[in-house]
Chain A
Amino acid sequence: AQSVAQPEDQVNVAEGNPLTVKCTYSVSGNPYLFWYVQYPNRGLQFLLKYITGDNLVKGSYGFEAEFNKSQTSFHLKKPSALVSDSALYFCAVRERNSGNTPLVFGKGTRLSVIA
């Protein structure tokens, strides 16, 4: 079975400081990994994905994530946080070659960037 763990319910960071939102995953095979952001009363917006190739993936709004197979992690990072980055972030996984199956989401991490 596939699963995603986001160990932090809440992450607080000062504006301008680097931020990290943690994610670890569990799949029986190779994963496709995704990060999404959700603003209040809105759907999820795609940020970035890891499919194959370079372990460091760059995405929207200056976010990036690093795939670490040995640690089964896919932490989301940004060098300099903005107040507008405050939102709910979801990590998701889907096993490669699993067909058109739905994503499995972590429970979400609320990021609060303080001015």
Chain B
Amino acid sequence: GAVVSQHPSWVICKSGTSVKIECRSLDFQATTMFWYRQFPKQSLMLMATSNEGSKATYEQGVEKDKFLINHASLTLSTLTVTSAHPEDSSFYICSARDLGASGMNTEAFFGQGTRLTVV
């Protein structure tokens, strides 16, 4: 299946600094990517929908100024956690669908996830 690569796999940062997470579709073009956040022993919470060449769409309750999303190309979306605080520590996962394969009914593919720890 299609491959979505996420980097870094884990990161530790100091409180108040910013962290950038990259999500790449390696063998297909993704006009849309999705960013999720997962708390321990919980399901995935959709944070935002990243649209190539336009502004991201954020879910209710997600601060767009804190979680900056940039989707500058058809294969790369980035999530920047700005002025990170310990409560931002979480597992962040991106996903995308290869619409060129079978259209809208294809499954979503997920990156490996990024474990963010803010100290």
Contacts and interface: CB of A to CB of B under 8 A. Distances in A.
A51 interface: yes
B109 interface: yes
A33 to B, nearest CB: 10
A43 B46 contact: no
Interface string A72-94: 00000000000000000010000
Interface of A: 32, 34, 36, 41-46, 49, 51, 90, 96-97, 99-100, 102-103, 105-108
B31 interface: yes
Nearest to A90: B43
Given A100-B32, A100-B99, A46 B43 contact: no
In the A-B complex, the 7 residue pairs with the closest CB atoms: A43-B110, A44-B110, A107-B43, A102-B34, A43-B113, A43-B112, A51-B105
Given A42-B112, A43-B113, A106 B105 contact: no
Contacts of B105: 32, 49, 51, 96
B49 A43 contact: no
